């Protein structure tokens, strides 16, 4: 089951056109648009600006007339007595006008590239930069953490710098976006540049997924370079993955993967250690020692698709794993969700009922934050959480598993009622969400697993549900028309 963002027949505030630039056909469709004049609260409204100009001119004129009356600087040249206050008024008004010229920034993430437009000055001149994905070969993303908060996953770092660099096949830079994620609810230029970079990166990843559609659908091996030269790589096949890392070569099946972790300096894969009797409780690590990986998000999406595991990133500190409640949505977090799921499995003894796990991915949070701001993204997540809680029955549980992922445990269901319940949840979540700037739509993908057909413990159930969710995600991406 897959839910897509509504097409152009439905008004979506994320793609409202920017009036200072026109989107070329070569860039495909707009996915998210940021217009500073509409969203930036620091922008001076035109009506207020006009009042300031008139007030400055009026005050200067009155002061000039008062000086004329008291001091009488030009007693023998009356015309100067009237001319210089008028000139002072004009200069004052002009000074205010120059210093309150409305700057306007528009940037648009599209299916086939990106465009940035800037307007400032007395003349309506617009400078713009266009980028087409076909000009680039790979993306490198450099990330620097400046300060760490207590809770890294949901109260993220205080300060992060991101540098997005799109390079051609000659390793020459073709496009760049630099941003600062200070995790504040603002529309500052550095913060919006970060969200813009994240939105373009997501579109770039979808562009690469569509380019590799045949190999993905047929399960053919896809080689992902781990360094710019391509000498080190991960080759993701249908059932197994091969790797070459600093001269070391290996191969494993996806069922051996226990977990995946993206550190700030490396990418780590946990591989189960087979014990006597076939038990696989402990695991060892395969370390990919690369601070940056070309087309990293593309690699991670393929990895999630093949393994059915969510890649944890270095933002997840130990205390995030033990925290039980999400401060944004007030839902349970992953640790408590898995604990309650295991308890539900233990209690589940009725053979005529169904126990199911549903995973819901919000695939366009990056676009929402780019177009509408950080707080709008949080508002969308809170609204979805409230709708989930209103949609599930008493005894069922809804949780937030990851930044863009929710989980629901459905207990004591009649087998024939499962799809009806899931469809009811889907229909409720698909409704538009009101934000301060208009209605936004969440792009959702869903999957589920049934106990015990799809797994006999909480880990295998969650993995199967995620695998189905990611399969639906890739189907939706490959079905999208870029033009």
Question: Following DSSP, what letter does each residue of 150-209 receive, concatenated?
Answer: S-TTTS--SEEEEEEEEE-TTS-EEEEEEEEE---SS--HHHHHHHHHHHHHHHHHHHHH
pLDDT of 216:
94
Residues 6 or more apart whose Cβ sits within 8 Å of residue 386: none
Number of C-beta neighbours around residue 25 at 10 A: 9
What's 263's DSSP letter? -
pLDDT of 281:
55
Mean pLDDT by 10 residues, the chain (483 residues): 43 82 92 82 57 77 76 71 77 70 84 91 77 97 68 53 94 94 76 94 97 94 94 95 94 91 84 58 81 94 93 57 79 89 84 89 94 91 95 90 92 87 92 89 94 90 95 92 78
Q: pLDDT tens across 37-49, in order?
A: 776 544 445 666 6
Residues 6 or more apart whose Cβ sits within 8 Å of residue 27: 108, 110, 111, 112, 113, 114, 115, 130, 132
Q: pLDDT tens across 137-158, in order?
A: 999 998 887 655 444 444 444 5
* 87 vs 331: CA distance, rounded Å: 64
The structural architecture, per CATH, of the domain 321-479 is: 2-Layer Sandwich (3.30)
Number of C-beta neighbours around residue 54 at 10 A: 13
pTM score, whole prediction: 0.84
């Amino acid at each position: 089951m897959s839910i897509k963002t509504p097409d152009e027949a439905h008004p979506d505030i994320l793609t409202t056109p920017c009036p200072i630039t026109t989107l070329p056909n070569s860039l495909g469709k707009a996915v998210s648009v940021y217009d500073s004049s509409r969203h930036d609260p620091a922008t001076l409204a035109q009506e207020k600006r006009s009042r300031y100009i008139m007030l400055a001119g009026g005050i200067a004129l009155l002061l000039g007339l008062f000086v004329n009356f008291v001091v009488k600087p030009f007693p023998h040249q009356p015309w100067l007595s009237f001319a210089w206050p008028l000139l002072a008024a004009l200069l004052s008004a002009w000074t205010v006008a120059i210093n309150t010229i409305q700057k306007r920034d528009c940037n648009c993430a599209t299916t086939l590239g990106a465009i940035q437009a800037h307007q400032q000055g007395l003349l309506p001149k617009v400078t713009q930069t266009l980028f087409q994905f076909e000009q680039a070969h790979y993306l490198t993303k450099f990330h620097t953490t400046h300060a760490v908060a207590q809770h890294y996953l949901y109260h993220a770092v205080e300060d992060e710098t991101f540098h997005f660099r799109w390079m051609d096949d000659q390793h020459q830079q073709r496009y760049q976006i630099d941003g600062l994620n200070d995790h504040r609810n603002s529309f500052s230029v550095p913060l919006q540049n970060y969200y813009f970079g994240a939105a373009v990166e997501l579109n770039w990843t979808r562009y690469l997924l569509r380019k590799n559609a045949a190999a993905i659908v047929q399960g053919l091996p896809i080689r992902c370079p781990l360094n710019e030269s391509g000498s080190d790589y991960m080759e993701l096949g249908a059932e197994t993955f091969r790797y070459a890392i600093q001269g070391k070569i290996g191969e494993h099946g996806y069922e051996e993967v226990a977990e995946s972790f993206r550190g700030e300096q490396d990418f780590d894969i946990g591989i189960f250690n087979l014990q006597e009797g076939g038990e696989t409780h402990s695991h060892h690590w395969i370390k990919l020692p690369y601070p940056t990986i070309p087309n990293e998000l593309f690699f991670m999406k393929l990895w999630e698709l093949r393994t059915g595991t969510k890649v944890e990133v270095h933002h997840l500190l130990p205390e995030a794993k033990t925290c039980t409640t999400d401060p944004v949505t007030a839902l349970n977090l992953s640790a408590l969700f898995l604990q309650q799921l295991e308890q539900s499995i233990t209690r589940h003894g009725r053979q005529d009922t169904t126990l199911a796990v549903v995973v819901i991915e919000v695939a366009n949070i990056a676009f929402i934050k780019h177009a509408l701001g950080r707080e709008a993204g949080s508002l969308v997540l809170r609204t979805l959480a409230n709708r989930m809680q209103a949609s599930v029955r008493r005894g069922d549980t809804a949780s937030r598993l990851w930044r863009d992922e929710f989980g629901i445990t459905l207990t004591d269901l009649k087998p024939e009622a499962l799809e009806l319940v899931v469809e009811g949840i889907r229909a409720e979540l698909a409704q538009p969400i009101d934000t301060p700037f208009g209605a936004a739509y969440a792009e959702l993908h869903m999957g589920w697993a049934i106990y015990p057909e799809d797994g006999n413990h909480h880990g295998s159930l969650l993995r199967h549900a995620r695998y189905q969710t990611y399969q639906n995600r890739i189907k939706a991406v490959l079905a999208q028309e870029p033009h």
